[in-house]
Amino acid sequence: MSQLIQVEIAGNSSPAPNIYVLELFAPTLAANAKPGQFLHIRCAEGTDPLLRRPVSIHAVNRGTGSVRIMFQVVGQGTEMLARRQDGLLDVIGPLGRGFTWGQGHPSHTNTGSAAVDGSTTNPGGIIVVGGGIGAAPLFFLLQELAVTSAAPRVKVLLGARSADQLLTVELAATLGFKVQIATDDGSAGFHGLVTDLLAEELRQKTAHVYACGPAPMLKAVCTLLGQAKVPGEVSLEERMACGVGACLSCVCRVREPGGEENYQRACVDGPVFSAAEVVW
């Protein structure tokens, strides 16, 4: 259940240029959060900017009550957040519908209590694909997958423009996952797009794919999954205002199970959608 709460900032670090990780002491959030959900954050202590900013939950430690967010500074709100070192942060969360496991159409079946437990009769690989800052929410998913029986079947593909912008590679490795990387400029790993790595991996039996990243990457992921007839889920980062389903600023086009197109709100029906339902 989501709540409006004041959480204590326990730390601020910068793992890459222009990227920040805020550690929050938030035991209730830590207990309730599911991978793929987000926090709606008041970045300013005053009213400018007035609107909250949505940021995904990056990592959770339920034992210590710690919740981390990882974000890229792109404008006023994230710049203000990056300067915060301590004190209280005003957040609403956890919000949205997160990643599911094997439940089909997440916007209709997932109540926010995603069951990422790896329980499936399909023995194929589970591929987690992140592009740029899209790697941030996927790390929380990897934390959950790491303690399931599915862990040995998980493959992690991470892409970025260049080596210094690769995120969560070491973190994913510390969970025991083998990570393949791709950079646009060839400065680390495969020289090319992370979706090229995905296309190669999809030649092998695959049960499910999870993806988060820039829209062109997610569009390519959905196309590849459609061609390979592999189910998957993508987390969309639509611009949001209210974050709770009231303003319709975050609507995106989806294809309903019957084939007709409709609009859904990324903040409450997503941000995670089945790859097959997103209309690009």
Ligand X SMILES: Cc1cc2nc3c(=O)[nH]c(=O)nc-3n(C[C@H](O)[C@H](O)[C@H](O)COP(=O)(O)OP(=O)(O)OC[C@H]3O[C@@H](n4cnc5c(N)ncnc54)[C@H](O)[C@@H]3O)c2cc1C
| Chain residues that interact with ligand X, rule: CB under 6 A | 38, 49, 53-56, 70-72, 74-78, 133, 136-137, 237-240, 271
155 binds ligand FES (CB under 6 A): no
* 3-state secondary structure at position 120: coil
Taken as a whole, the chain contains a residue count of: 280
Is residue 133 packed enough to be buried (19+ CB in 10 Å), middle (13-18) or exposed (0-12)? buried
Cβ(212)–Cβ(270) below 8 Å: no
d(CA 256, CA 115): 22
Question: What's the min distance (Å) between Cβ of 27 and ligand X?
Answer: 21
Interface characters, 210-249, with ligand FES (x: CB under 6 A): ------------------------------xxxx-xxxxx
* 219 token code pair: 């569009």
Question: What's the min distance (Å) between Cβ of 153 and ligand X?
Answer: 26
Question: What's the min distance (Å) between Cβ of 99 and ligand X?
Answer: 13
d(CA 241, CA 278): 21
Per partner kind, with CB cut-offs from 5 to 8 A, the member of ligand X, ligand FES, none near residue 243 is ligand FES
Using CA atoms, how far residue 268 sits from 93, 95, 96, 114, 241, in Å, is 12, 7, 5, 14, 12
Per partner kind, with CB cut-offs from 5 to 8 A, the member of ligand FES, ligand X, none near residue 249 is ligand FES
Question: What's the min distance (Å) between Cβ of 78 and ligand X?
Answer: 3
